[in-house]
Amino acid sequence: MVNSILFLAHVSESGGTLPKTAYEVLGVALKLSQQTGARLTIGLIGSNLEAAAETIAAAGAGRILAVTGPDFATARYASDAAAAEAVCRAAQAELILAPATSRFMRVLAGVAHRLNGCVDTHVTSLEAVDGEVQATRWYYRQRIEGVIRRDVRPWIVSLESGCGAPWVNPASTGAPAKTEIEEIPLTLSDVARRTVVAGIHAPKSDAQTIRPDAKLLFVAGAGWTKKQSDGKPHVDQAETLILEFLRNSGASLGGSKSLVDLSGESQAVLGFMTHLNQVGQTGSTPRHPKGLSTCCHGEEPHVVGWRFINERRAVNLDPNCGWARGKADVLYVADAFEVMTKLNALLSERSRSQPIPEVAAQLV
């Protein structure tokens, strides 16, 4: 039984809104609140919250609490944990729902400890069954799905993107809603200010191969760097083909562990492929509607990273590879070098006549 729910969020990097996932979590919080009759409170953290708070003011929460100020502009453990703790204590909520952003993933467990509560992260669904809240999450890197409940309160739950439909103001007139924010005063100690966030390192826009919002995940396997039919590797050609495909399709690039590990083994590597691209058991589990795998065997440790890829196709020379065993919808037994050359030509021709919006935006 839950009597009170806190939806906890931080402002996005741009400052004027909340992260996209936060609106999905707000949708879940509202649904749970309606199902259980629990009162809903919104808690916000950030430097300047007004604009972000206006976007959710009409959600129907009883209160909007906030910790704000320059100290809370950036993602730093000590300040974010203190802010989240202050909001949670003020809200006195039994269930605290938050988006699984990198900023919150860094602090929520610590906050749970300070509140004598508990935390569950990477939750993919939250439901009220007979008044009892049940959370679903994955174990052993997306290999086993578990449904849990907790006795301890407060229970902090961080929800993954795609956990529900984002909340949209049904009666929006376009004008900002009036918000009454209860600010919680919080002064940080010098110890909490020791660490200073100096900035963000991002690849140049034309070198950015990880695109979380892309509709397609393109995965390159170690086969791209192996000897081809002429007995020689063609890594340069592979790089050109893959980068051209990413430009033409707007896809996000993933790699198998065996490919990204090659750099540590002094073998020929794709220069733009790093551990950040790695998908699978020891890499990431990205969320895209479609995924295309090339030159990758589709072994289980890699494919667990595809858990949230809906439509899957693969190109591989081996008709008995892992993808053929129920892991892809379609397996093309073909030479990826030849297929990608033709595919790039097709996409290039189409994008000239009908540019893909996200690709066109990158070219501006």
Partner 1 sequence: MTNGYHIVVCGSIVPDPLQTLEPVSTSTGPALKNETMLPAILDPWAAHALYEAADLATRFPGSKVWLVSVGPKAKLQQVMMTIAQKVSFEFVPVDASASGFSDAHSSAAILAETIQGIPGLDRSRLLIFGGWESASRGAGATMQLVGERLAILDQFQGVDTLNVQDDGSFEVLERIEGGRHQVSVCPGPPALFGWATGHLPEPRNNPQVGMANMRTVMPALQRAKSVPIQAGGLHYLSASLPKQQRQTRVVKDLSAEQVAYEIAEWIRK
- For partner 1, give the closer residue by CB, 13 or 182: 13
How far is the C-alpha of 148 from the C-alpha of 140, rounded, in Å?
15
How far is the C-alpha of 287 from the C-alpha of 162, rounded, in Å?
8
Residue type, 23: Y
- For partner 1, give the closer residue by CB, 114 or 227: 114
Handedness of CA 111, 213, 29, 130 (dihedral sign): negative
- For partner 1, give the closer residue by CB, 122 or 247: 122
- For partner 1, give the closer residue by CB, 92 or 310: 310
How far is the C-alpha of 139 from the C-alpha of 142, rounded, in Å?
6
Task: Count how many residues are written for the chain.
Answer: 364
DSSP label at residue 227: B
CB of 22 to partner 1, least distance (A): 13
- For partner 1, give the closer residue by CB, 2 or 119: 119
Q: What DSSP line would sit under 1-70, residue for residue?
A: --SEEEEEEE--TTSSS--HHHHHHHHHHHHHHHHH--EEEEEEEES--HHHHHHHGGG--SEEEEEESG
Instruction: Give the phi and the psi of residue 133 in degrees, each rounded to 5.
Output: -85, 130
How far is the C-alpha of 343 from the C-alpha of 296, rounded, in Å?
18
CB of 336 to partner 1, least distance (A): 9
Six-digit token string for 91: 């809200």
CA distances (Å), 50 to each of 58, 176, 236, in order?
14, 10, 50
CB of 261 to partner 1, least distance (A): 8
CB of 38 to partner 1, least distance (A): 19
CB of 341 to partner 1, least distance (A): 8
- For partner 1, give the closer residue by CB, 177 or 210: 210
CB of 216 to partner 1, least distance (A): 6
